[in-house]
Amino acid sequence: MSSTVPTRGSVPISVEGLTKSFGSFRAVDDLSFTVRPGSVTGFLGPNGAGKTTTLRMVLGLHQPTAGTALVGDRPYAQHERPAAVVGAALEASSFHPGRTGLGHLQVYAPQAGVDTARCHEVLEQVGMSFAAGKRVGGYSMGMRQRLGLATALLADPPVIILDEPTNGLDPEGIRWLRGLLRAFAAEGRTVLISSHVLSEVQSTVDDVVIIAHGRLVHHSSLDELAAMASPEVYVESPALDRLARVADERGWRHQPDGHGMLVAETPAAEIGAAAYAAGVELHQLSPRGATLEDVFLGLTADRSTPGANQSVHTSGEAAAR
């Protein structure tokens, strides 16, 4: 196997019929999805949905009961130097408390094919240079997350897989991570991050893969998921009657509500633009109704009723229960 390390932008992840049984319990059940290069994909689902098990199968740590998971053209473990293809930080992947941050990176550097200078570089990149010589036992959760990310980045890989990377990060850290991951996707890398809270990754991801009880329940772009949120927008204006005419002209459903009106299934931006074009003054323009989080919760809600419809939702279907 003398393949060269794939270049950025050419390494998708494809999961096909992936299944993992523990005894009679199916932790992951016939799961299929792809993660495309050049985007950030959110791998979402409640705790216990099978996210970590899936990631561990993708990374060759768990043996699938059935199905395949490919990184590029082959399973993770069959790459000549896997760490140079996929940088992964798993939630449970921990550190020896007696090792320094730099020492930890130096341990894994040889197999990632990099030297100590690169260890310093990734520490710098994740803002951890100040703690390079400190033992990991004294690190905070956020610092461990950053060290895990630094480990994943050692070989500057084209694929990045992070399990619950926002855990333990403060809001500033989450914003920093978002910028970093967006930049990676812009460089053409394949980025897959798992989370059980949609709102924490909502402004980071392009695509969403949502699972519940080990099964795929939704796979689309974030925009398509957002479209399922059937938004309503509350609008206030000193010229409500003119605004209502604008809405009628465009075929928007609307109804009076309090001091203003509710416009159904129309993005706030579109309403604002129409009002501006028509010269209608707006005093308030606020989205309401089913939020993205509501849609997410609806998709992943307990549907353990035997024989319940388990078909995969596509963007066209109504989402909320």
Partner 1 sequence: MTAALIAEYRKLFSTRMWWILALILAAYLAFIGASMGFALGYEPPDATPEQTALLPQGAAAASTVYSAVNAVGYVFPLLIGSLAMTGEFRHQTITQSLLVEPSRTTFLLAKLVSTVPVGLLYAVIGVAGIVVGGAPVLALVGDGAYLTDPDVLEVFGLALLVMVLWTMIGVGIGTVIPHQVAAIVVVIGLTQFVEPILRVGLGLFDATAGLAKFFPGAAGDAVLGSSLFGTMMGEGGGTDLLSRPAGAAVMVAYAVVLAALGRLTTLRRDIG
| Cα 286 to Cα 46, 57, 99, 129, 206, distances in angstroms | 29, 43, 51, 43, 24
Return the residue of 19, 32, 106, 125 that touches partner 1, per CB under 8 A.
106
Is residue 139 at the binding interface for partner 1, with CB under 8 A as the rule? no
Q: Which residues pair with 233 in a beta bridge?
A: 263, 287
Residues in 38-77 that interact with partner 1 by CB under 8 A:
52, 56, 59-63, 76-77
The token duo for 188 is 């053409």
Smallest distance from the beta carbon of 162 to partner 1, in angstroms?
13
Min dist CB 29 to partner 1, Å, is 17
Give the interface segment with partner 1, choosing from 39-47, 108-116, 213-221, 245-253 (CB under 8 A).
108-116
Q: Name which position in 17, 113, 127, 138 contacts partner 1 (CB under 8 A).
A: 113
Does 95 contact partner 1 by CB under 8 A? yes
Paired tokens of 9: 């932008």
When asked if residue 21 is in the footprint of partner 1 (CB under 8 A), the reply is: no
Contact residues for 236 (Cβ-Cβ < 8 A; gap 6+): 259, 260, 282, 283, 284, 285
Can you say how many angstroms the Cα of residue 178 is from the centroid of all Cα atoms in its chain? 10
User: Letter for the amino acid at 283?
Assistant: H
Between 61 and 282, CB nearer to partner 1 = 61
Cβ distance to partner 1 smaller for residue 44 or 136: 136
Q: Give me the DSSP letters along 16-70.
A: EEEEEEETTEEEEEEEEEEE-TTEEEEEE--TTSSHHHHHHHHTTSS--SEEEEE
Interface residues toward partner 1, by CB under 8 A: 52, 56, 59-63, 76-77, 82-83, 88, 90, 92-100, 103-104, 106-113, 151
